[in-house]
Amino acid sequence: MRLIDETALADIALGSTVLGSGGGGDPYVGMLLAREAIRRHGPVPLVDVDEVPDDANIVFIAGLGAPGVLVEKLPRENEYAGVLGELERFTGKTYSYVCPAEAGGFNGITPFATAAVTGVPVIDADGMGRAFPELQLVTPTLYGGRSTPLAMLDEHGNAMYLTSETNVWSESYVRAAVVASGAHAAVAVYPMTGAEAKQRLVRNAITLAEDLGRAIREARAAHTSPVEAVLAKQRGVLLFTGKVEEVERRNEGGWTVGKAHMSGLDDDRGHRMTVHFQNEHLAAERDGRVIATTPDLIMTMEIDSGEPIPAEEIRYGYRVAVVGLPCDPHWRTEAGIRIAGPRHFGYDLDYRPVEEMSR
Amino acid sequence: MRLIDETALADIALGSTVLGSGGGGDPYVGMLLAREAIRRHGPVPLVDVDEVPDDANIVFIAGLGAPGVLVEKLPRENEYAGVLGELERFTGKTYSYVCPAEAGGFNGITPFATAAVTGVPVIDADGMGRAFPELQLVTPTLYGGRSTPLAMLDEHGNAMYLTSETNVWSESYVRAAVVASGAHAAVAVYPMTGAEAKQRLVRNAITLAEDLGRAIREARAAHTSPVEAVLAKQRGVLLFTGKVEEVERRNEGGWTVGKAHMSGLDDDRGHRMTVHFQNEHLAAERDGRVIATTPDLIMTMEIDSGEPIPAEEIRYGYRVAVVGLPCDPHWRTEAGIRIAGPRHFGYDLDYRPVEEMSR
């Protein structure tokens, strides 16, 4: 067990942007929310999954916004403080630990708001080791884990509860409910036991985010390359160095969908790169050949500052390194590739690990 | 207490179409569903609201379909059988009576499916005395009645539960959830006690539907005018007799919105009528002057057969009587007119009772 204070939270937020893999929402917004809660209630205990009793009840905490809402106004603490109690009322059980569904993006941070207010510890793990655009795309799904019973609390105080037949149905209901709320909502989802958590979760995901964030921060301070620091930390592959020439981006079914086209710089001069995205980056295509796909992580980082550039912010003129990071081994199983590999997102090609595919 | 058998059910279904006031969905579909349940489980007891103990828990049962779903396939009995148990599981209470939210249209019948399967009686009352297009437009709302806790069960077996801050929020969540289900769902909503039911509900609404249905059936058999029979039954006003010339109709936000234009026949020769609708008929305009509005009922009936023609089916060539029926006194209060009067539906005019306004 260790305590997460404001400095650690800032590193986690920065690292979450890398694990966001182009999506996951802005962790800065989540950081402001959680920082405020920590200032008021004190630091949050972070525990290793092995410290959690097998029979403890744990649950993912995540936030969901109607499109555009997060950037227009900050979510309030109330939803995050209240949603755990709503699930407890609904199920009649006590949940003693919370954990992010995705350590990438905004939702890498939101469980800290719940934890600070309610006093429960956060588990150093998540259900993705990255960000993904759909509720069913979590590692518990690979082991038969159920997303429900779930509770959702919106900022108006409306509470929705669900027991679904499949995790894909939960995705459909929760997404519709957030739109109906016209606002922001917190959700407590995928309740499981400590024993299940040990089998099913991506371990040390929060520490990974923190390490990545700290590596970028320290490289900036030392005037060394933040991109190199991230690659070294995670056995990553530098897929491309280039300048953004054109971005095609549209809203489709609540998602930000499109492509960013780049022309090469330095060693990549004369070559071209296209990064495909649906909230998260889905595939990287170099000179017409796909060299990285989900479930591996594809991230665009501003070359000098190492600032991770999400898909919804990338635009003409950015000078970026396109970085590929291996996903968690859970996703490299047959089941993992089936539910989160390139074919799930409509690409007619087989998954190959980024470290081989990019060669 | 009396028993509702197949014959009574058919009369209720026909009368529900009149009370549907142009909308409410096709009671024929609900009738097939409920008749099947009655054939399997036996007739359903119908009780007067005064027979219900003050401390009994009662709840509205209604069905909701994603647009177009009802006409494409019949809802199954499962949702209606199961939804009451879902609410009981959610609230920890037992519900001993069910009742329609609206005696008009499809949902005048659906509680009989729940009642037949679960063995609970139906109360001879409803929350509208007609049909309305939104969940909050029920008489309990006028007395501070809350729509939640509610339970919704879809045909896939997904169960959603809600506690909302307002009845308008419930409308928003339930509508979104039905779309998310991609199908048909049953909802148990507006739980209340027997004492509250006595104050808040429209009494004898099912008997009224049955009386109207029987009046039409008997007039047809006697070769007298079904339209006259309906007018006599309910102190109604014949607003217009004419032929449909043109119908403007579009789908807007899940509603069927538009106008039906008619030219006069018989005594109305040389005059014109326009009936405005949003699922239900909202206003009748004779030669440019509005002569009837919600919350009073406006119904178009085929002149010879007395067949009620819903707004989604009316088309060029129909020869219809446009009939105005006074709404239940609950709706003629200040609160009733505020939430369900012409201004709620965007008409800049004051409500006046149809029997005066049409003079």
- Mutation target among B134, B148, B163, B174 for the A interface, most CBs of A within 10 A: B163
| Partner-chain contact A180 B172, CB within 8 Å | yes
Q: Please name the helix (run of DSSP H) or strand (run of DSSP E) that holds residue A197, with its range, or none.
A: helix A194-200
Measured CA to CA, the distance from residue B108 to residue B130 in angstroms comes to 9
Beta strands in B90-236 (DSSP E): 97-100, 122-123, 125-126, 150-154, 159-163, 184-193, 202-203
CATH number of B2-203: 3.40.1610.10
| Partner-chain contact B180 A182, CB within 8 Å | no
Residues in chain B where the model's pLDDT stays below 70: 66-75, 254
pLDDT reported for residue A70 = 60
Would you say how long chain A is, in residues?
Answer: 359
Residue of B nearest to A152 (CA): B162
- Gyration radius of chain A over CA positions: 19
Indicate if B225-357 has the same CATH topology as B2-203: no
- Chain B residues touching A175 at Cβ < 8 A: 180
| Partner-chain contact A158 B163, CB within 8 Å | yes
pLDDT reported for residue B255 = 77
Q: What is the pLDDT of residues A210-220, one digit of tens each?
A: 999 999 999 99
Contacts of B144 (CB under 8 A, 6+ apart): none
Measured CA to CA, the distance from residue A293 to residue A345 in angstroms comes to 10
Fold of B225-357: CV3147-like (2.40.390)
Instruction: Give how far A134 is from chain B: nearest CA, Å.
Output: 14
pLDDT reported for residue A55 = 98
- Torsion B179-B182-B183-B188 (CA) sign: negative
Measured CA to CA, the distance from residue A298 to residue B137 in angstroms comes to 50
- Torsion A327-A328-A332-A337 (CA) sign: negative
pLDDT reported for residue B69 = 59
Residue of A nearest to B165 (CA): A158
Q: What percent of chain A has pLDDT over 70?
A: 97
Residue B9's nearest CA partner among B206, B226, B215, B222 is: B206
Instruction: Give how far A138 is from chain B: nearest CA, Å.
Output: 20
Q: Count CB-CB contacts under 10 A for residue A177.
A: 24
pLDDT reported for residue A76 = 72
- Chain B residues touching A177 at Cβ < 8 A: 173, 176-177, 180
Of A90, A158, A163, the CB nearest to B173: A158
Interface of B with A (CB under 8 A): 90, 156-165, 169, 172-173, 175-177, 179-182
Q: Are A191 and A58 in contact (CB under 8 A)?
A: yes
Report helix, strand and coil shares of chain A as percent, to nearest 5: 40, 30, 30
Residue where the block lists tokens 């009396």: B2
Residue where the block lists tokens 């009802």: B70
| Partner-chain contact B180 A175, CB within 8 Å | yes
- Chain A residues touching B185 at Cβ < 8 A: none
| Partner-chain contact B161 A160, CB within 8 Å | yes
Q: What percent of chain A has pLDDT over 90?
A: 82
Measured CA to CA, the distance from residue A244 to residue A317 in angstroms comes to 5
The tokens describing A221, both together, are: 């301070």
Strands B57-65 and B97-100: parallel
Measured CA to CA, the distance from residue B44 to residue B124 in angstroms comes to 12
Instruction: Give how far B344 is from chain A: nearest CA, Å.
Output: 20
- Chain B residues touching A172 at Cβ < 8 A: 180-182
Measured CA to CA, the distance from residue B60 to residue B254 in angstroms comes to 22
DSSP reduced 3-state for B107: helix
| Partner-chain contact A162 B163, CB within 8 Å | no
Q: How confident is the model at residue A73 (pLDDT cuts 50, 70, 90)?
A: low
Please tell me whether the peptide bond between B111 and the residue prior to it is cis, using omega within 30 degrees of 0.
no
Residue A180's nearest CA partner among B86, B162, B338 is: B162
Q: Count CB-CB contacts under 10 A for residue A144.
A: 10
pLDDT reported for residue B167 = 95
pLDDT reported for residue B343 = 95
| Partner-chain contact A181 B158, CB within 8 Å | no
| Partner-chain contact B165 A175, CB within 8 Å | no
pLDDT reported for residue A213 = 95
Of B162, B165, B176, the CB nearest to A156: B165
pLDDT reported for residue A8 = 93
Q: Is the pLDDT of residue A160 over 90?
A: yes
- Chain B residues touching A163 at Cβ < 8 A: 158-159
DSSP reduced 3-state for A142: helix
Measured CA to CA, the distance from residue A34 to residue A44 in angstroms comes to 10
Q: Is the pLDDT of residue A338 over 80?
A: yes
Measured CA to CA, the distance from residue B149 to residue B92 in angstroms comes to 11
Q: Which amino acid is at A104?
A: G
Instruction: Give how far B158 is from chain A: nearest CA, Å.
Output: 4
Beta strands in chain B (DSSP E): 2-4, 44-47, 57-65, 97-100, 122-123, 125-126, 150-154, 159-163, 184-193, 202-203, 237-252, 255-264, 272-278, 280-286, 289-293, 297-302, 319-325
Strands A44-47 and A122-123: parallel
Q: Is the pLDDT of residue A115 over 70?
A: yes
Q: Are A311 and A258 in contact (CB under 8 A)?
A: yes
Residue B246's nearest CA partner among B238, B254, B258, B236 is: B258
Beta strands in A18-154 (DSSP E): 44-47, 57-65, 97-100, 122-123, 125-126, 150-154
Measured CA to CA, the distance from residue B14 to residue B307 in angstroms comes to 8
Measured CA to CA, the distance from residue A132 to residue A126 in angstroms comes to 12
Instruction: Give how far A172 is from chain B: nearest CA, Å.
Output: 5
Q: Are A129 and A99 in contact (CB under 8 A)?
A: no
pLDDT reported for residue B190 = 98
pLDDT reported for residue A125 = 98
pLDDT reported for residue B119 = 93
pLDDT reported for residue A256 = 84
- Residue extents of the structural domains in chain A: 2-203, 225-357
Q: What is the pLDDT of residues A307-334, one digit of tens each?
A: 999 998 999 999 999 999 999 999 999 9
Measured CA to CA, the distance from residue B306 to residue B285 in angstroms comes to 21
Residue A323's nearest CA partner among A229, A246, A252 is: A229
* Residue B347 burial by Cβ neighbours in a 10 Å radius (0-12, 13-18, 19+): middle
Of A90, A165, A180, the CB nearest to B173: A180
- Gyration radius of chain B over CA positions: 19
Q: What is the pLDDT of residues A118-155, one digit of tens each?
A: 999 999 999 999 998 888 999 999 999 999 999 999 99
Of B158, B169, B175, the CB nearest to A156: B169
Q: Are A98 and A186 in contact (CB under 8 A)?
A: no
Q: Is the pLDDT of residue A100 over 90?
A: yes
| Partner-chain contact A162 B165, CB within 8 Å | no
